[in-house]
Structures are given as structure tokens and as C-alpha cells.
Amino acid sequence: MKNKKVIILGSSRSKGNTANVVSAISEKYNIDIIDLNNYNITYYDYESKNLGDDFLPLIKSIINKYDTLIFATPVYWYNMSGIMKVFFDRFSDLIRVEKETGRKLRGKNMFVISNSHNDEIAKSFYIPFQKSADYLGMNYTGEIHFNADKINELKNIELIQL
């Protein structure tokens, strides 16, 4: 079976620099995009009062359709974006409430695309992604960083590790 990929865009701007990077990659490699701004995903809640929002239907759809999840986020204050953090926090529902759904993440691949106004970022930025992949039984396959000021160079990018 072919490895079906999806880019999960988590940025405050659906038309910003990270979206431009994601769009170029999507076109070049024919990868689907899910923009988290198009969904109502609320903060993790220990009492599970938010199970009626869009998280569970969205993650179930992602799990059923894709083998590789590519998380794309700008770097905000040395971390993933808030919307991406909320999405990751909701993985807790997959280990507490929807355990069968969570188990289906095992063996899937995770890759990260980051974007900022710097050529490089600290490798520590990727630790939450790496640790989450490990905890969920996913294969962390790598990351790539883009400088928002050099987006026009995207045409030459080869994402071999995808």
C-alpha cells in the first residue's frame, strides 16, 4: 500500500508564511492539507466536556486515511503554535477516552515542518514532536525548517525524507 500523506497546518494565519511553505510542498508532492483553523478544537479537558467538538471526528478521519502525518507550524516563542499545541494536547483523549482510536496511530509516521525568520532553530524545538511520536508508537521520520524570508527558494527543495 502506498504511503498516503497529509500536512496538518497549525498556524494563526491560514494564508501566512507557513501556509505558503505548505502549499508549495503540497503542490510539488501531491500531499493533502488540513488547516486546523477550519475546525473547532477546544482545549483538553480532564472531565471530557469537549468531546462534541471537531477533534475526534477529525483525528479519526486522519487516522483512517493517512499513513504519514506532517505537522507544519510556525515557531512562536520557541515553541509550536498555540493551535498546534491544543491539537497535540487533545491526543490525551486518545489515551484516556478513545483508546482504540489512539492505538491506530501506532506504526504511522510523523514528520515536522517548521517556519520562522531564521535559517535554523534549536533542535530542542522538535522534542515535543519526537516524544509524542515515541509515546504514541509512531515513527518520527524527521523535520525540516524554512526561513520565511526565503520562501521563494522552495522550488529547489527536495524533501527526500518525506
The single-letter DSSP state of residue 73 is: E
Q: Render pLDDT for 82-98 as a digit per residue (tens, 0 to 9).
A: 999 999 999 999 999 99
Check whether 48 has a pLDDT greater than 70. yes
Q: Does domain 5-155 have CATH number 3.40.50.360?
A: yes
Phi and psi at 9, nearest 5°, equal: -85, 120
Average pLDDT over the chain, rounded to an integer: 92
Distance CA 72, CA 90 (A): 17
- pLDDT at residue 38, rounded to an integer: 98
Q: Render pLDDT for 101-146 as a digit per residue (tens, 0 to 9).
A: 999 999 999 999 999 999 889 999 999 999 999 999 999 999 999 9
Domain positions in the chain: 5-155
* Its pTM surpasses 0.85: yes
Distance CA 45, CA 151 (A): 37
Phi and psi at 77, nearest 5°, equal: 50, 45
Rg of the chain over CA atoms, in angstroms? 15
